Amino acid sequence: MLQLRPQSSTSASSKSTSHQVTEDSALQKFGKPLRHVTEIRDCYVTTSCDLCEQVRKDLCPLQTYLDNHGYDSHRMRDAIDMLYQHKTEEEDYEKFLSSIIICKYCAAKLRGNKEVARSFYNELSAIPAPDCITCLNMFERALIKFCMTCITVVRLGQISNHGRPRNELNSALKGRIAYLPVDLLSNALFLPDNLLNVQNLVLLVDSQPTQQHRVWTSVVDLRKVHAALEWLRINNPLYKDIPVYTLADIENKIAQQLDGQTSATSTTGSALLKKLNDASRSYLYENFSVQPLSSDYPADVLVDYQMDKVHGQSTNIFDAELDMNAFPELFPTGEHGMKDTKRGTKIGTSEYIKSRVLHKDLRFRLNINYLFHSFQVQEVSKHVPQHWSHA
């Protein structure tokens, strides 16, 4: 409840005058930064070429090249037919030509009757990831990969109120990447011990202790992991042999355990999620303060699992399927990788990286691990003979 005190007319009028804001005073105080923001806004490029799908400044409607030399070339006609098949939104052909935007690089190549190696129909289009993959956090994504980089170090930060820390951002990456293989078969067959209901498939996974001896935990929902693996098994040929627990399978195992027909599921193999032994659990709770990320999971909840270290021989950096095995969130269908064998026109490593980084799909340039991987591959390819890189 607010209480208003009477105020003299003199003091009220003087106060209102002193706090009065005019357009001139606002421009005088904030005019320079506002004009700077306007300039940045006007030059910020968000439009992409319809052929190479890269964000560029030198874009023109395809119809502007109608009377120019080379417009009737064989490559230009093929490109227009391909664009009409895949990207037409107009039945009228003239409206279609005026709606298609093309960059000067692609236009010059086609007018010279040359192939555009970085065109979208050269196995370079970006396949959107389904919701079952995009909703995974970084720990859940690690359980659907064939290999992962050992360079990523996560330090879970402090939180306030009910907000989650920004634990999925890397502050810096340094050095070479080692692509350590992940036993995806063991991860796909992993289920927690002593299943009681489907809700038990939500686990709390510990992070590394902070300087204040606090261990922050992150939620791993195995239901989301299995939903993503099921989608990948259907749509990605690299996952065709990966078994997946369906909801019916899990409920059947729960019923068997409750009836005493089967023993508790053991976490054998090389699964990333490992059950803590008694000694590790005792050391954890005696020396550290375990604090979950959200009030939905109280601090006294029992934490039995941790992310295990990845062991094994590093995968060959020149493996043709390396980027698709390490980044299924970017290549959900197992296609259009750096060394896609179905690509009709060869494209160099640097041109491929440029196509990914400048692509209208933001996923590639916002994934710092993928950027680090791409530039490492480019750096190594400079010092290795061409026939080695395709071995």
Task: Give the DSSP per-residue string, 176-219.
Answer: ---EEE--HHHHHT---SS--SGGGGEEEEE----TTSEEEEEE
pLDDT-based confidence at 238, cuts 50/70/90?
A: very high
Q: What average pLDDT does the segment 254-267 reach? A: 59
In a shared domain, residues 78 and 197: no
Residue 303 lies in a domain: yes
CB 124 within 8 A of CB 53: yes
Q: What average pLDDT does the segment 148-166 reach? A: 49
Give the lowest-confidence range in 112-116, 284-288, 303-307.
303-307
pLDDT recorded at residue 194: 60
Give the lowest-confidence range in 68-77, 202-211, 346-355.
202-211
In a shared domain, residues 137 and 89: no
Token pair recorded at residue 35? 């004009």
Token pair recorded at residue 354? 């440029």
In a shared domain, residues 248 and 115: no
pLDDT digit string, tens, across residues 326-362: 999 999 999 999 988 888 888 988 899 999 999 999 8
Residue 354 lies in a domain: yes
Token pair recorded at residue 349? 């490593």
Residue 165 lies in a domain: no
More confident residue, 103 or 275: 103
Count of structural domains, the chain: 3
In a shared domain, residues 137 and 271: yes
Average pLDDT, the chain: 75
φ, ψ dihedrals at 345, nearest 5°: -110, 130
More confident residue, 347 or 33: 347
Length of the chain in residues, anyone?
391
**For the residues of 130-173, what is the DSSP string, one character each?**
PHHHHT--HHHHHTT-SEEETT---------TTPPP-TT--S--
Give the lowest-confidence range in 96-105, 119-128, 313-322.
313-322
CA angle in degrees (0–180, nearest 5) for 110-115-116: 80
Q: For residues 334 and 342, what is the distance between their CA atoms, to the nearest angstrom?
A: 12
CB 102 within 8 A of CB 48: no
Residue 189 lies in a domain: yes
In a shared domain, residues 80 and 142: no
In a shared domain, residues 149 and 187: yes
Give the lowest-confidence range in 7-11, 275-279, 287-291, 353-357.
7-11
3-state helix, strand, coil in the chain (%, to 5): 40, 10, 50
In a shared domain, residues 185 and 299: yes
Residue 325 lies in a domain: no
Entry pTM:
0.71
Strands of the 202-206 sheet, one edge to the other: 273-275, 305-307, 202-206, 214-221, 289-291
Give the ranges where 288-329 is alpha helix by DSSP (H). 322-326
In a shared domain, residues 240 and 289: yes
CB 240 within 8 A of CB 233: yes
pLDDT at 322 over 80: yes
Give the lowest-confidence range in 26-35, 233-242, 265-274, 381-390.
381-390
Residue 108 lies in a domain: yes
Contacts (Cβ under 8 Å, ≥6 apart) of 375: 353
In a shared domain, residues 96 and 155: no
Residue 330 lies in a domain: no
pLDDT recorded at residue 228: 92
In a shared domain, residues 73 and 186: no
More confident residue, 178 or 69: 69
Q: For residues 329 and 334, what is the distance between their CA atoms, to the nearest angstrom?
A: 10
In a shared domain, residues 365 and 296: no
Q: For residue 52, what are the domain limits? A: 42-121
In a shared domain, residues 273 and 365: no
Selection from 29-33, 106-110, 161-165, 220-224 with the highest mean pLDDT: 106-110
Residue 18 lies in a domain: no
